[in-house]
Every structure is written in C-alpha cells, then in structure tokens.
A and B are shown apart, each in its own frame.
Chain A
C-alpha cells in the first residue's frame, strides 16, 4: 500500500497555502499508510544558508542546543516538535561530519538551501498536526504515508528519503535489487541510514545527479537499474518529477491546472484542491518520466 502525494506550484498564487493543501492530502491518504508519515517542503528561501533537518528523537532540545554550541558559532536553531532545523552558512561536508561524529543519537533527515523535511512514526493525522504542516509555505512539497513492508516502523524507515542536497524521494511499492544496489552505491561514497529499499533509490538518484545528469536523464536510467515496482515522486530545489515502473500496478493520478501540478495515489486526496474539477486529470503512463521545473 502506502500513499504518496505532491504539489508543484507553477506560480506564486498558492504558495501561502501549500502546507495546508499538502496537509489535507496526507490526512486523506492515512487509509493507505497508517504507520508513519513525512513530508518535504521546499520553501524557496534563498538567503544562501544551508538548512539541516534533524530529528533529535528523545533528546532534550535545550541539551541539544547547548551541545551544538560547542561545535558551531554562527547558526540559528528552529524547533518543531522533535525536529530541529539548523540554519548556517557552514557547508554540508563539515556539518554532516560533525553531526555524525558527535551526535550519534539524532537522525539527519535531510539538508539543502530550500528543503525542510519532517517525518515520524504514527498516524498521518497526528504527524501532520504535530509538525503544524498547515502553516508552511513554499514552492513545492512532497509527502508520504507509510504501510511498512520492507523495513521496521522507525523514523529512519519513514519517507521522504533525502540523500543529497535539496533532494528527496517518496515511493509506493518495493524494490527487489536494493541490497546489491546499496553495496554498489556505498562504493561510490553514498551513505545510508537504514535498511530501507527506497533509501537506495534515493541514493541512486543523488549519485546520478551528482554526475551533472538532469533529473529526467536520471529517472530514465533508473528504469533500467531499479528492479521492482514503484511509483516515485522526487523533488529537487527547482524540479519535481514522477515515474512509474513498466508494469504500473502502483496507482497514481495527476491533476494539472495553470497554477499547479498535483499528484496522489488516489484522486480523493486531491478532491479539495482549488479548481481541481476543471484540471487536466490523467494517469501517468508506465515507464514515462513526467517532470516539471529543472
């Protein structure tokens, strides 16, 4: 099962209500994935600072703040439930090294200049409420409700997965060659935090994008290299794409208007969107990469 949802805005009209729309979509998809939920939101901020999305798990926020001061001096911390966004000019290579070495009890769920990721176990309705998703604004957003199959119900087992700067992936389906592929990608220096199959697909995409390939080319290659069944929604800083495997047994519906592109596992998740009844509604074809932005 699992539910996937995403919205990509073509203009500024709906930017202020992006979080509220995605929130309703995720809650509607609770029936497809009651185990955990998560979302990635690209808020289009451009102050050149990096944002590191961290799940601090059971650690007390004040202790975390005290501790992090020991390592960084020019940063801002934004707390949202058990997640923290660290904003700083310091580059990922340094920050990730410090976090991994000294903060072993936290999970780094993503980083980039625009993206913020929040994910946690629990019913999507509770997760969405906890992170106050409806208050978020932005340019595009992707979400997931999970019915666990391939790995445990944990924060690290929840989607979206992010393995590169401003990149994220959600997945409905399962991959059968993820162990082999994970071994290969590890050799190329891709890091993994879980045993989850989707994280491998995210790592595959990051590895490709790091070789200056476009999102479209990357996904086309993915059709050959990723074995299994899937509907993917993937996001980059300015891009948004959808891909279904060649059998296409995992559902997806796209609704496109002049203002937005929305995708969900089932139409009912989009039924509340503005002008959706006048949208161009279609089912993405198997093995065809659909992409918007760059």
Chain B
C-alpha cells in the first residue's frame, strides 16, 4: 500500500501504522513524499515492511519494535533512537545521534553517520558502511557499533560494555576507551552482524576492536583532579 505524505497528514500515517488492522493482511507499505518530515514511522509495534522513498527528518523509526523500515534517502537526527527490535536500513547518510539509546534491533547506514552515532546505546547493533563523526559511542552501554570507514574524534568516550569495531582510522579515542584484543568470540560476533547487514566485501579480521578500560567505572579519589 502506498501512503503519500503530500496527501495524508503525518499523524494519520503514523496512527495507521501504529495500530495495524490485524484482520487485514496488509504488511507492506511504501511512504512517498516524506520531504524531511520528522518522526515518520515512530513507535511501530508490529512486524511489517516499510520503504520510505526520499529524505526524512528527525527521529525516523524511533522506538521501533519489530518493523523493518528502509529509507531510500538521508535521515536527520536520531534515526531509530530508542529502537527495541526490528530493523532500520538507511540507504543514504545519517545525521547526529543515529541509534541513540536503542535497546535492540539492527540499524544499517549505507553512507556516513555524523557525530554521536550510537550515543548511550543499550544493546542495538549499528553498522555504518561509511564513516562516523566525533563522539560516536559516547557513554554507550551495550551492543555493537561497527564502522567500515573511519571514526572521528573522541570515539567511545566514557563507554561501558559496548563493543566498537572500526575498519579504518580512528582520529582519537575518548576518555577510558582503548583498543582491545579481538578474541574468537568477538570475531564470531562480528561475522554474524556483518552477515546480517549483508556485508561481504570486508573480513571480520580486518577490523579493530575498541572498548572500555573500565577505569571510570567507580569513583577513585586519585582522579579527583580530573572532575
């Protein structure tokens, strides 16, 4: 079913998708003329396939649960923020804070993501085929952030248990973020996510793993001058 944002109001479209009529078997939707609108496909709870043809604004696919959303264009700030499960695939570039605070699911960005990608992520897998901007993975708690290009300044600042895998260069590491050994379990984990994201041209072995040095976990009196 085709939904035209030039003809239908955003609230009407979101309302329809958030409250799917289960008696009907319609599970495939295409949204046309998104024209940079915010919060398209936010808060979807059911399994369905959605293709958005064009560029979208902020918080696209936010709080997603189960839905499979593809955006054929660029996305604004906070794509798939607080996603619980499901999949969001951006075919263009993403703005700041992609996948912020998300608990689960898979976010794939074919282009670049700008600053603070995966900020405070809590279990989502984020795969960026291009590069990410500064402060990516900031205070991230769990999940995997995979970047096939380069990472900007202060990568993984103050992170907790998130695994960050970068193929290219890292401009600088943030506080308490260090390069870590790639064990077998990490390789296995990375291989699985690369496969899920349909990435065949990069080998898991060519990535480097970054994580927490765990020196900021607890308050230490010796660090008082740093606060």
A interface, CB within 8 angstroms of B: 248-249, 251, 253, 266-272, 277, 281-283, 285-286
Contact = CB atoms under 8 A, between A and B. Distances in A.
B92 interface: yes
B74 A267 contact: yes
Contacts of B96: 248-249, 251, 283
Contact of B134 (A281, A282, A286): A286
A268 B114 CA distance: 18
B139 to A, nearest CB: 15
B57 interface: yes
Contact of A268 (B57, B73, B95, B133): B57
B55 A285 contact: no
B149 interface: no
Given A267-B74, A267-B76, A281 B55 contact: yes
Given A266-B57, A267-B36, A286-B134, A253 B115 contact: no
Contacts of B77: 251
Contacts of A272: 35
Interface string B75-115: 01100000000000000110110000000000000000011
A73 to B, nearest CB: 51
Nearest to A272: B35
Contacts of A271: 35-36, 55
B105 to A, nearest CB: 24
Contacts of B134: 248, 286
Contact of B95 (A283, A285, A286): A283
Nearest to B55: A267
Contact of B74 (A249, A269, A281): A281
A253 B73 CA distance: 14
B93 A281 contact: yes
A227 B56 CA distance: 32
Q: Which are the 3 A-B pairs with shortest beta-carbon distances?
A: A268-B36, A271-B35, A267-B36
Contacts of B57: 266-268
Contacts of A268: 35-38, 57
Interface centre among B35, B56, B96, B133 (most CB of A within 10 A): B35
B54 interface: yes
